[in-house]
Amino acid sequence: MTDFAAVLLDRDGEGKTGARLTRLSDADLMAGDVTLAVRASAVNFKDGLAVTGRLPVVRRWPMVPGVDAAATVIASDDQRWRLGDEVILTGWGVGETHLGAWSEKMRVSGDWLARRPATLSPVEAMALGTAGVTVAEGLERLGRHGLTPADGPVVVTGAAGGVGSMAVMLLAREGWSVTAVTGRPEEAERLRRLGAAEVIGRELFAGPAKMLDRERWAAAFDMVGSTVLAHVVSMLKPGGVAIACGNAAGMDFPSSVAPFILRGVSLIGVDSVRVSATRREAIWRHLAETVDRDRLAAMTSVIPLTDAIDAARRIVDGGVAGRTVVAVGDVRA
């Protein structure tokens, strides 16, 4: 395969981002020691930002979006990876500074690859994808902080989205009582089926946050940032921990120091892009062993590469529910 299908992002003279499905050739591949035939990718919020140009996540032009890949090794100068190996790649700047996975072919560094557990299909691996790595990292931080489900319930904001749905499912699986926050009441039943004990609207999180509010939760996974995260930290119990994952409502954080110095609350950030390779191997093994496949399937849609640009435009406006997997090549297990 010397030429192959890919989504390409470019900028016009005024800096406006354009996206199109096109064909690239091997000469377009970037430097790297492992060449991959991509089986599946996903639509992440970051891909939405890249396709719309809403935030400057792309730092190399032209760019192929797609921060997640499940792929087969088709050439390798790296002793660790052989022809036919099945791998997962999430983050590491792919889709931002390095051509991404909305492409039938990509060339990358062998350092970025994790082995795909044999029990996960390419679609399941991408349904988990960056969202699975992010939530697994957040769970690890809660554990490192000594928090367990016995400390009280956990709240998940942006719950109907990809990472939010993943957080609801994986936290419930670990025994947490989960309050899911969503602006889409029509998603409540699906969130309950994923394991949410309670589903509430966004009303509690509207407007400016008080310095301290009623103590409600022991922990939080926040996908939204801005005033929503400010409300969340003001409602944590003493010693509570908020895991800051996302910025769906904005990058700002209009809070006060009160929750931190008067309730000993901690705010911990997760950056899934730079999780170490060793830790990723452990995360993928754990996810493969513990994930509930039926629930994962229930929160996942699969679309062809031809629909990826449209899905990316919708995700930044909160118009996508759960995880969206992009079938790029052969997605059979």
Ligand X SMILES: NC(=O)c1ccc[n+]([C@@H]2O[C@H](COP(=O)([O-])OP(=O)(O)OC[C@H]3O[C@@H](n4cnc5c(N)ncnc54)[C@H](OP(=O)(O)O)[C@@H]3O)[C@@H](O)[C@H]2O)c1
Region 119-148 residues binding ligand X, contact defined as CB under 6 A: 130, 134
Size of the site for ligand X (CB under 6 A): 30
Q: Is position 315 an interface residue for ligand X (rule: CB under 6 A)?
A: yes
- Shortest Cβ distance from residue 58 to ligand X (Å)? 14
Residue facing ligand X at closest CB distance? 161
Q: Is position 202 an interface residue for ligand X (rule: CB under 6 A)?
A: yes
- Shortest Cβ distance from residue 269 to ligand X (Å)? 7
Choices 93-101, 156-164, 251-259, 290-298; region in contact with ligand X by CB under 6 A? 156-164
Q: How many residues make up the chain in this entry?
A: 333
Q: Is position 249 an interface residue for ligand X (rule: CB under 6 A)?
A: yes
At residue 17, what is the residue type? T
- Shortest Cβ distance from residue 86 to ligand X (Å)? 23
Choices 14-22, 40-48, 68-76, 251-259; region in contact with ligand X by CB under 6 A? 40-48
Q: Is position 318 an interface residue for ligand X (rule: CB under 6 A)?
A: yes
For the chain, report the end-to-end CA distance as a whole number of angstroms: 21
Choices 5-13, 100-108, 247-255, 284-292; region in contact with ligand X by CB under 6 A? 247-255
Is the separation of the CB atoms in 190 and 322 below 8 Å? Answer: yes
Q: Is position 272 an interface residue for ligand X (rule: CB under 6 A)?
A: yes
- The mark string for 159-178 relative to ligand X (x by CB under 6 A, - otherwise) is xxxxxx--------------
How far apart are alpha carbons 100 and 103 in whole angstroms? Answer: 7
How far apart are alpha carbons 124 and 144 in whole angstroms? Answer: 28
Q: Is position 242 an interface residue for ligand X (rule: CB under 6 A)?
A: no
Q: Is position 246 an interface residue for ligand X (rule: CB under 6 A)?
A: yes
Burial of 58 (0-12, 13-18, 19+ CB in 10 A): buried
Q: Is position 300 an interface residue for ligand X (rule: CB under 6 A)?
A: no
For residue 67, CA distances in Å to 145, 185, 206, 243, 262 come to: 29, 29, 31, 21, 39
Choices 13-21, 80-88, 210-218, 314-322; region in contact with ligand X by CB under 6 A? 314-322
Q: Is position 223 an interface residue for ligand X (rule: CB under 6 A)?
A: yes
Binding residue for ligand X, selected from 270, 296, 308, 311, defined by CB under 6 A: 270
Q: Is position 45 an interface residue for ligand X (rule: CB under 6 A)?
A: yes
Q: Is position 158 an interface residue for ligand X (rule: CB under 6 A)?
A: yes
Question: How many separate helices (H) and strands (E) can be counted in the chain?
Answer: 9, 15
What stretches of 145-253 show up as alpha helix (H) in DSSP? 162-173, 188-194, 226-234
Burial of 150 (0-12, 13-18, 19+ CB in 10 A): exposed
Cβ-based nearer residue to ligand X, 160 or 287: 160
Cβ-based nearer residue to ligand X, 35 or 247: 247
Angle at 270 between CA 258 and CA 41, to 5 degrees: 145
At residue 190, what is the residue type? R
Closest among 216, 275, 211, 223 to 240, alpha carbons compared? 216
Q: What is the DSSP string of 148-173?
A: -GGG--EEESSTTSHHHHHHHHHHHH
Q: Point out which residues bind ligand X (CB under 6 A).
A: 44-46, 130, 134, 158-164, 182-184, 202, 223-224, 228, 245-249, 270-272, 315, 318, 320
